[in-house]
Structures are given as C-alpha cells and as structure tokens.
C-alpha cells in the first residue's frame, strides 16, 4: 500500500535558489550578489526594522490571529472593509487556501503557461486539473484563457505583472475578459508586483470586488516592502469568500514580527518611493547595457527582467555564480535559454553586466 496520495506524486517540489552564504561557501568567494528572487535590494524600511526590534520582547506570546491592527490600517489604505482582507504566510499560502477552500476533486483551474508555478502545485494538491494556456508574446492571452473556461472550471489565475516574464495585461483586456467569464468562476489576480507599476492602464481589480464579482486580488509585503523573509501577503475579496477561506486558514499563520513590520512598512511612503526610483533607474541602465551587448530581453513592468541568452542558460548561471552573481535559470518554466534577473542597486546592476560580458 502506498502511503502518499497518487496526485501528490505528480507534483515536482519547488526548487528555490541557493542562499548567498551557501554559494559563497561552495565556491570560495566573497561578496556575492543575489539577483535571483525579485527581492528589494534596499532591504526593509528602517521603520519596519525598528518596529520588529520593539516587538522582540513579546515573541513569547502567540501572534494576533486576526492581525487586527495591520488589517485596520490596510483596509483604510485600500479603501475596503476589514472583512474583505485575509493574511497569509506569504501569498503562496493564500494561493493554497484558495485551492483548499474552493476546488473540488476533478474541477479545473485555467492557468497561463509559463506563470508562477505555485498555482499548478496548489491545484494538483487538491486533485484538481490545471488547464494550461500558452502565453502570447510572453503575456497572458486572456482571449485564449477565456475560451478555455468550461463547465468544470472553478478557478482562473492571472499573474499581473506575470512572473517570470514581467509583462502585464491592461484594464481594457481584463474588462473584456471579465465580461465573458461566468459569474460562478473565481478569478484570482496575483498582483505581487503592483507597487512597481507606473502605467495608467493597469486594471483596477479591487473594483470588481466592490461590484460583487467572484474576484480575489493577491498582494504582498515581500517585494517592494522588502519583507520577503518574514512571509506576509494578503488577499482581498468579498466578505463571504474571506469567511470561507478563514475556515482553512491556520489560526496563527502570520507571526507577530511580520505583522508589526508590515504595519510600519505600509506607512513609510519615502522608502516606497525610493525603491520605485531605484527600480526605474536600474531598469533603464540594464536595458541600455543589454542593448549594447545585443542581448534580447522582455520589457518588464516589475522589478526583474527576463533575458534571452539564445543558448542553454544553466551553464551561464553557473559561470555567473562563480563571478559572484546569483541569477535564476528559467528551465523550470520551460524557458531553457532564459535567465531572470532582479533589478538591483546601481552597483549590483553594473557588477552583473560586467560579469555577463565575461561569461557570455
């Protein structure tokens, strides 16, 4: 008798990138730069660090399971009700909650290919069926995704901007898509990189929630807020959907340090603006440098760039690592010739380009 459920055997474990210290130890190098996981190179807000320092004396106590103070501040920030918000141990946990709450065995979820790999994993855990729809020009093909919806479809996942391509779908594209989607289908908009968006035509997905649609919008404190190591993300949806998701949420799933840090980070507008400015400047520098090297890339709306090396990327990643630069090979997404590079500080970006010149 097999101990593990059959559908679990179909899931490939997620393979995270190596941490900086391990790379330095393995290769005998110092001052390695990690540009692989789309983290904020400026780190967290100083206010968040101070808030955590103050909260350390209370880590003997269980955290507030409802995240009362953070929820109240975030509701005001988003202009939604407190009952419209749920927190997770990163957005990853909320994705899992969505599948556990709404997906019955054999029901389908429409997912772009390639997109954030956790969507497929969450669906398969519940013995659901992922319906994969290829990107068009490295962007979600919402027309094709709409056509893939059928009577078995329960969920649709849309990463906007998309990871790993950095592309986005517009307000008009989403509006047309939503007009064709049956009311009973739940559409999940994963907006992890929302705060980096500068375009005016980005969709206002929270408006669909206000109008009563089955929409769940995901955002996170891991990216521009610089709190990836604390694992805290959130979802916004109708109150009845949030209540149902709370049935499967673990009671103390977000820790006390994450809550106080997120609350402080939310209020630090100066840090957010500085992070945006660093990202814009770094993106422009990398575009110019890649153009000069005649290396192709996908223009990005996020804090990373998908780069086409036009050759197998695994070896290039290893050689870059020996140069002290950690980037992400995209073979796991079926993009064997591509790497994904986080936009860093000016110094990090320059170091990456010089290393790429040497190893390409």
DSSP secondary structure letters along 8-51: GGGPPPP-PPPPHHHHHHHHT-SS-EE-SS---TT-S-HHHHHH
Classify 6-44+270-359 by CATH class: alpha beta
pLDDT recorded at residue 171:
98
Please report the pLDDT score of residue 153 as a whole number.
98
Quick: pLDDT tens for 283-320: 999 999 999 999 999 999 999 999 999 999 999 999 99
Q: Where in the chain is the domain with CATH 3.40.640.10?
A: 46-267
Going by C-alpha positions, the residue among 189, 196, 195 that lies closest to residue 169 is 189
pLDDT at 251: 95
> In angstroms, how far is the first alpha carbon of the chain from the final one?
50
**pLDDT for res 203:** 98
Residue with tokens 């109240």: 72
Task: Please give the angle made by the CA atoms of 190, 14 and 148, to the nearest 5 degrees.
Answer: 45
Helices (H), the chain: 20-27, 46-55, 68-78, 91-102, 118-125, 142-148, 171-180, 205-210, 239-246, 256-267, 269-292, 313-322, 346-359
Q: What is the pTM of this model?
A: 0.96
Predicted confidence (pLDDT) per residue in 100-145, tens digit = 999 999 999 999 999 999 999 999 999 999 999 999 999 999 999 9
Cβ-based neighbours of 188, under 8 Å, separated by 6 or more:
95, 98, 155, 156, 157, 158, 215, 216, 217, 218
Please tell me the predicted confidence (pLDDT) of residue 53: 98
pLDDT at residue 323, rounded to an integer: 95
Q: What single-letter DSSP state applies at residue 139?
A: B
Which positions of the chain have pLDDT values less than 70? none
Q: Which residues contact 318 (CB under 8 A, 6 or more apart)?
A: none
Is the four-CA dihedral 31, 37, 40, 44 of positive or negative sign? negative
3-state percent breakdown (helix, strand, coil) of the chain, nearest 5: 45, 15, 40
Q: What is the pLDDT of the chain when averaged over all its residues?
A: 96
Measured CA angle at 164 (ends 104, 139), to 5 deg: 80
pLDDT at 69: 98
Model pLDDT, residue 319: 95
- Residues of each domain in the chain carrying CATH 3.90.1150.10: 6-44+270-359
| Cβ within 8 Å of residue 96, ≥6 positions away | 118, 122, 125
Report the pLDDT value the prediction gives residue 13, as an integer from 0 to 100. Answer: 83
- CATH number 1.20.20.10 given to 46-267: no
């Amino acid at each position: 008798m097999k101990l593990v459920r059959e559908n679990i055997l179909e899931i490939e474990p997620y393979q995270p990138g190596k941490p900086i210290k391990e790379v330095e130890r393995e290769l005998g190098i110092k001052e390695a730069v990690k540009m692989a996981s789309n983290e904020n190179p400026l780190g967290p807000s100083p206010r968040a660090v101070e808030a955590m320092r103050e909260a350390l004396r209370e880590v003997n106590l269980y955290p507030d399971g409802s995240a009362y103070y953070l929820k109240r501040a975030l509701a005001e920030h988003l202009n939604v009700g407190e009952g419209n918000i749920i927190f997770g141990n990163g957005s990853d946990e909320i994705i899992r909650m969505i599948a556990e709450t709404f997906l019955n065995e054999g029901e389908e979820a429409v997912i772009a290919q390639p997109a954030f790999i956790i969507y497929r994993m969450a669906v398969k855990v519940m013995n659901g069926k992922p319906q994969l729809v290829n990107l068009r020009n490295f962007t979600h093909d919402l027309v094709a995704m709409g056509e893939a919806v059928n009577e078995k479809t329960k969920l649709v996942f849309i990463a906007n901007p998309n990871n790993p391509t950095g592309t986005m779908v517009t307000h008009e594209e989403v509006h047309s898509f939503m007009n064709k989607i049956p009311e009973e289908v739940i559409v999940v908009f994963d907006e992890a990189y929302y705060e980096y968006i500068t375009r005016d035509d980005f969709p206002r997905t929270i408006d669909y929630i206000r109008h009563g649609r089955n929409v769940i919008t995901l955002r996170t404190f891991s990216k521009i807020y610089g709190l990836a190591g604390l694992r805290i993300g959130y979802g916004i949806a109708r109150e009845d959907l949030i209540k149902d998701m709370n049935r499967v949420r673990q009671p103390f799933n977000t820790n006390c340090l994450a809550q106080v840090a997120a609350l402080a980070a939310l209020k630090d507008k100066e840090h957010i603006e500085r992070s945006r400015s660093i990202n814009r400047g770094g993106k422009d520098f990398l575009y110019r440098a890649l153009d000069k090297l005649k290396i192709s890339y996908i223009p990005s709306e996020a804090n990373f760039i998908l780069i086409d090396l036009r050759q197998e990327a695994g070896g290039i990643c290893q050689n870059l690592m020996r140069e002290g630069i950690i980037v992400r090979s995209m073979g796991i997404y079926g993009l064997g010739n591509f790497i994904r590079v986080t936009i860093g500080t000016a110094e990090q970006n320059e170091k990456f380009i010089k290393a790429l010149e040497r190893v390409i």
